[in-house]
Amino acid sequence: MSSKQELIPSDYPAWLETLKGQITAARSRAALAVNAELIHLYHRIGREILDRQTHHGWGSKVIPRIADDLKSAFPDMKGFSRSNVKYMRYFAEHCPDARFGQQPADQLPWFHIVTLLTKAQPPQREWYATQCVALGWSRLSLAQNLASRLRERQGAAVTNFALRLPPPHSALAQETLKDPYLFDFLGLADDAHEREIENALIRHITRFLIELGSGFAYVGRQFRLEVGGDEFFIDLLFYHTRLKCYVVIEIKGGAFKPEHIGQLNFYLSAIDAQVKAADDKPTIGLLLCRSKNSIVAQYAVNGIDKPIGIAEFDLLRDLPLPLVENLPSIEEIEAEFAGDLPGEQEVQL
C-alpha cells in the first residue's frame, strides 16, 4: 500500500502547525526590526537637520532641498517627501531620546508617532503610545481616541471596586470602565428614552463594543432571569475576557438616583447564583445614566456589597476645546518651516 496519505506521518499536521507558527513569529519579528530601524533612521535624519539649523546657521530651506535630493537618490523609498522630512525634524526636537516616557518610539509605526506628536499633550503621549502597542490600535483608532479624550475618561467611573474586589483585580476593573461613555454614533436626540437607547446600542453593537473597550464580549439583551417564580430582565449582559467575569449593564434615561443601585445589586446576586461559573470572578455592575452627582453616587455604591460602577453617557458629543488646544496645529508646524523666522540665515548648498 503506497498511497500518499500513508506516507505522511500521523503527527505531520501538528508539526506543520508548529512550523506555521514559527514562520509567522519570525515574520512579525522581522517586520518589527525593519520598523525599528526605519524609526531610528528618521530620528537621526531629524537630529542632523535640527543640529545644523541650531548650531550651524542652516535655515528652513534645507528641508525641501534634502527631501528632493533624498528622493532622487532613493526613488524606491516613499518616506522622503518634504512634509515627512519636516516631521523627522519635529520628531527629533520634541522626542530627543526617541521615547515617549518609558515607551520606545520604535515600537510604533511612523504615522502613529506623527499623530502623537501633533495631537497629544506631552504628559499623555506615553499612555497613548503604550495603548497603541498593547492593543494594536490603528492610526485611525489612535486619532479617534485622542479626539474623544479617552485617557481622561478611562478609569473615571464612580465605583466601589477598591472596597469590594481584591487587588490587583480591583485596579484592573476600575481601569476598564470609563466616564462618560460617548454614544453619539447612535444618532439619537438628547430626549431619547431608555428602550430607544438600548435598541440603538444593539443595532450598532460593533461600535458599542469599541466604545466599551477591549475585552467585552456580548452575551445578550433583556437577559431573562427567574427568581422565586418571578421573571426579571437585565438590559444588557456582557462577559469580560480579561476580568474573567460577567458585566451587567443597566441604562437609565435620566439622572442617577440611589434607588437604581438596589435593582442592579439584585441582578448581580442573581447572575452570581445562576449564571456565573465556579472559576469566574464576581459579576460587576455598570449603571449608565444621563447625569449624576458624584458624591451621591459614591455614597450609594459604598453601601453595596456587590462591585458596581456608575458612569454617565452622552448621546450628543459636547466636548470642550480639543485636548491639543495648546499644541501647534499641523498647519502651524508647516508654517514654522516656511522660512519666515526673523534673522534666519539660509544655508548655501
Strand 181-182 relative to strand 308-314, pairing: parallel
Provide CB contacts within 8 A for 293, sequence distance 6+: 255, 256
Percent of the chain with pLDDT over 70: 89
Q: What domain count does the chain have?
A: 2
Examine the domain organization and report whether 202 and 127 are in the same domain: no
Residues 34 and 84 in one domain: yes
Is residue 148 a contact partner of residue 257, using CB atoms and an 8 Å limit? no
Domain final position from 148, 180, 199:
148
Same-domain pairing of 126 and 160? no
Q: Are residues 89 and 231 in the same domain?
A: no
Report the C-alpha gap between 146 and 95 in whole angstroms: 19
Quickly tell me which residue has 506623527 as its cell.
114
pLDDT tens column, 244-285? 999 999 999 999 999 999 999 999 999 999 999 999 999 999
Query: Cell numbers of 300, please?
Result: 450609594
316: region left, alpha or beta (phi > 0 left; psi from -120 to 50 alpha)? beta
Do 96 and 137 lie in one domain? The reply is: yes
Please indicate, yes or no, whether residues 298 and 164 belong to a single structural domain of this protein: yes
Residue 333 resides in a domain: no
Band the pLDDT of 345: cuts 50, 70, 90: very low
In terms of domains, do 135 and 168 share one?
Answer: no
Domain of 97? 12-148
73 shares its domain with 211: no
Q: What is the mean pLDDT of the chain?
A: 88
pLDDT digits (tens, 9 = 90+) for 95-139: 999 999 999 999 999 999 999 999 999 889 999 999 999 999 999
In a domain, 51, yes or no: yes
Q: Are residues 172 and 46 in the same domain?
A: no
Model pTM score: 0.78
Are 304 and 160 in contact by the 8 Å Cβ rule? The answer is: yes
The answer on 108 and 79 residing in a single domain is yes
Same domain, 172 and 108: no
Helix (H, G, I), strand (E, B) or coil at 214: coil
**pLDDT-based confidence at 339, cuts 50/70/90?**
very low
Backbone φ, ψ for residue 226 (5° rounding): -120, 120
How far apart are alpha carbons 136 and 105 in whole angstroms?
14
Do 181 and 262 reside in the same domain of the chain? Answer: yes
pLDDT of residue 31: 84
pLDDT digits (tens, 9 = 90+) for 171-212: 999 999 999 999 999 989 888 999 999 999 999 999 999 999
Question: What percentage of the chain exceeds 90 in pLDDT?
Answer: 74
Average pLDDT, stretch 311-334?
Answer: 60
Domain-ending residue, one of 107, 131, 148 = 148
Q: Is residue 292 part of a domain?
A: yes
